Structure 1
Amino acid sequence: MSRNKLQRYRENLDNKNVVQPGKEIFDNIKGNWGSDQFENNNPIVVELACGRGEFSVGLAAVYPDLNFIGVDIKGSRLWKGSKIAIEQGLENVAFLRAQIQLLDKYFEKDELSEIWITFPDPYVREGDEKRRLTYPKFLEMYKSILKKEGIVHFKTDNTPLFDYTLGIVSEREDCEILAETSDFDQSEWRDEHFGIKTKYEKIFSDKGEKIKYLKFRFKD
């Protein structure tokens, strides 16, 4: 491990807004995010594979009455979002260092109000379909930790992944599509995101790639 990563790891251990192995709160956080981390009962919104957390931090600044949690397995990435949140004095955003396939180990049934899936790995190789964050087993897990009619947002530049996800969601009787576009920047939903972009959204947009967006909820 490089000196830089070691330093970031140490800072993550000290930063209250990072929940990770080695901290007492990590083993007891399931079902207790509101009381133990945020110390309020505001709705909780999670961003999966958040990277450096710029999207979660951006949303937290816009919505002070919501709590945001960025989830990623890379501690050095979370360090960046943690640092920015601290600098901006944002106490309604935190970061969880964990594997997404184990998400239900850290969130209780009905604990979340919304989930954001922002520019995940499309896993295009044959046989990797089960690793996609919109594969049916992941959707079932999201449904179990979301509140009734909880919302899922999905953004990607990858057309095959978007078409795959749209097909999966459309076929489910327990899902209701609320928004769908293959050109987000020209859509009616663009202003709802206040110009907040992830690192990869900015990269792909600057290259002229059209951003795809899907918003749906799980019906009772």
Structure 2
Amino acid sequence: MSRKKLQRFKENEDNRNVVQPGKEIFEKIKGQWNSVQFENNHPIVVELACGRGEFTVGLARQYPDKNFIGVDIKGSRIWKGSTIAITEGLNNVAFLRTQIQLLDKFFDHGEISELWITFPDPFPRDGDEKRRLTSPRFLDMYKPLIKADGIVHFKTDNTGLFDYTLDVVKQRGDCEIILHTHNFYASPWKEEHHGIQTKYEKLFSEKGEKIKYLKFRFK
């Protein structure tokens, strides 16, 4: 392991906005994000597979009246967003280091107001369907964690994954699609995202890929 990574891991241990194994809060945070981590009652917005946290931090800048949590398993990636948030004094940002399939171990029923799924691995092979973050398996896990009428946002460059997700959501009897588009940056909703882009969104957009966006809620 490189010296740079070791240094980042050490800083994650010290950074209060990183919740990860080895910290006492890691085992106790479920149902306690508002009271223990943020010390307020603002709505909680979670981004899955947040990577370096560009989107999590970007949203936090725009909405100081909401709390934002980026979830990723890679500590060296989380370090980037964590450090930026601390430098800018963004106290409404936190990062959770865990695998996404364990999300229900860290959030109580109805604790999340909005969920963002941004540019996840498409897992294109049929045998990998259960690994897709928008598969029925994952949607079943998210549903009880999200407040009644809470919003789920999904963005991807991958047409196959987007069409698959759209079909899954349409076929469920417990989901209501609010809007969807196969070309987000040509849509009337692009201004709602304030120009905030993840690393991969920017990369794909520069290559001419159309960004797809779906917004829905669980009934």
TM-score, with structure 2 as normaliser: 0.99
Distance 2:157 2:76 in 1: 25
Distance 1:59 1:153 in 2: 13
In the TM superposition, residue 126 of structure 1 has moved relative to its aligned partner by 3.3
Amino acid at match of 1:61: R
The question of whether the paired residues in 2 share the 8 Å contact of 1:48 and 1:72 is answered with yes
Residue of structure 2 equivalent to 1:11: 11
Residue 184 of structure 2 is aligned to residue 179 of structure 1: no
Amino acid at match of 1:183: N
Distance 2:207 2:86 in 1: 32
- Residues 55-94 of structure 1, C-alpha deviations (whole Å, 9 max, x = no match): 0000000000000000000000000000110111100010
- Residues 178-202 of structure 1, C-alpha deviations (whole Å, 9 max, x = no match): 1100000010110000000000000
Distance 1:154 1:28 in 2: 29
DSSP 3-state at the match of 1:179: strand
In the TM superposition, residue 176 of structure 1 has moved relative to its aligned partner by 0.5
Residue of structure 2 equivalent to 1:75: 75
DSSP 3-state at the match of 1:113: strand
Amino acid at match of 1:90: L
Amino acid at match of 2:38: F
TM-score, with structure 1 as normaliser: 0.99
Residue of structure 1 equivalent to 2:139: 139
Residue of structure 1 equivalent to 2:51: 51
What stretches of structure 1 move > 2 A for 4+ residues in a row?
A: none
The question of whether the paired residues in 2 share the 8 Å contact of 1:71 and 1:100 is answered with yes
Amino acid at match of 1:127: G
- Residues 163-185 of structure 1, C-alpha deviations (whole Å, 9 max, x = no match): 00000001111100011000000
Distance 1:124 1:108 in 2: 31
How many residue pairs end up in the alignment? 219
Give the gaps of 5 or more residues in structure 2: none
Give the gaps of 5 or more residues in structure 1: none
Q: 1:82-97 maps to which residues of 2 (within 5 A)?
A: 82-97=82-97
Q: 1:117-196 maps to which residues of 2 (within 5 A)?
A: 117-196=117-196
DSSP 3-state at the match of 1:215: strand
Distance 2:112 2:41 in 1: 11
Distance 1:135 1:97 in 2: 22
CA RMSD of aligned residues (A): 0.5
Residue of structure 2 equivalent to 1:109: 109
The question of whether the paired residues in 2 share the 8 Å contact of 1:143 and 1:150 is answered with no
Q: Percent identity?
A: 74
Distance 2:189 2:128 in 1: 31
